[in-house]
Amino acid sequence: MQIHQSEFIKSHISFDSLTETDRPEFAFVGRSNVGKSSLINMIVGGKKNIALVSSKPGRTQMINEFLINKKWNLVDLPGYGYAKTSKSQQNKFQEFVSEYLLNRENLTCVFALIDSKISPQQIDLEFTKWLMDAEIPFILIFTKADKSKPNASLRNIEKFYEEMAQFCEGPPRYFLTSSSNRQGRKDVLDFIDLAIQ
Ligand SMILES: Nc1nc2c(ncn2[C@@H]2O[C@H](COP(=O)(O)OP(=O)(O)OP(=O)(O)O)[C@@H](O)[C@H]2O)c(=O)[nH]1
Ligand SMILES: [Mg+2]
């Protein structure tokens, strides 16, 4: 799939303000700082970034909606697990994100992002389990592949799947990506292309 148009639609601070649409929608979710906004820019951004990447984690605090090729939507969700965010803020995010994930009717697939540089984190495993239990369709996207040697990334992925095997029978597929060297861009776009047919 070629990306010939991508535009920012709107930021939402509550689920209710999202526009109802039949367009297929894909949501990027994951721990704060895992690289959601960077990946969105790498995959659908042109010369200019469309999602805001900041040096400080916890910055994407709203649901940011993008329209791609005038055909499908992409959503950048606030990150979970940022320790410096107050507990009440964290709860608010969780409520907001889970309300979106559980109720968005046109949600085609969630991309759950995991940092490929680190060994499995409890918070990511818990979130993956939550997606499974809620029967929300998702795949895993391991990020920041450029930060370690390929074998080290693959070992972390393997370990993640080993941990996941404790609560999941049909493991989801995954892609390994890097926003720095554009690894995995075609994999993700091919996946979306098939899903919107
Ligand atoms: N080397 C490398 N750095 C990356 C990659 N992706 C993201 N980063 C860096 O990681 C930091 C966080 O990236 P973001 O894209 O803002 O992460 P996010 O998940 O959107 O973060 P929040 O919005 O705070 O939840 C930034 O400093 C990025 O430059 C990658 O593939 N490789
Ligand atoms: Mg972000």
Q: Express each pLDDT in 149-182 by its tens digit.
A: 999 999 999 999 999 999 888 889 999 999 999 9
Chain mean pLDDT for the chain? 89
* Residue recorded with tokens 């790498």: 42
C-beta 33 within 6 A of ligand 1:
yes
| pLDDT exceeds 90 at position 12 | no
Ligand 1 centroid – CA 194 distance (Å): 27
Rounded mean pLDDT, 30-57: 80
The answer to the question of residue 1 being in a domain is no
Output 149-158 pairs: Cβ under 8 A, ≥24 positions apart. Answer: 152/117, 153/116, 153/117, 156/116, 156/117, 156/118, 156/119, 156/120, 157/116
Domain hosting residue 60, numbered range: 6-195
Axis crossing angle, helix 185-195 with helix 36-44, rounded to the nearest 10? 80
Q: Is 57 in the pocket of ligand 1 (CB under 6 A)?
A: yes
What's the Cα-to-Cα distance from 77 to each of 47, 52, 63, 113, 130, rounded to whole Å? 22, 12, 5, 11, 16
Domain containing 64 — which CATH number? 3.40.50.300
Count the domains in the chain.
1
- Residue 41 alpha carbon, nearest atom of ligand 1: 15
| 184 Cβ inside 6 Å of ligand 1 | no
CA distances for 64 relative to 74, 77, 86, 150, 159, angstroms: 8, 7, 21, 32, 32
Give pLDDT, residue 86: 61
What are the pLDDT digits (tens) for 110-147? Answer: 999 999 999 999 999 999 999 999 999 999 999 999 99
pTM assigned to the model: 0.92
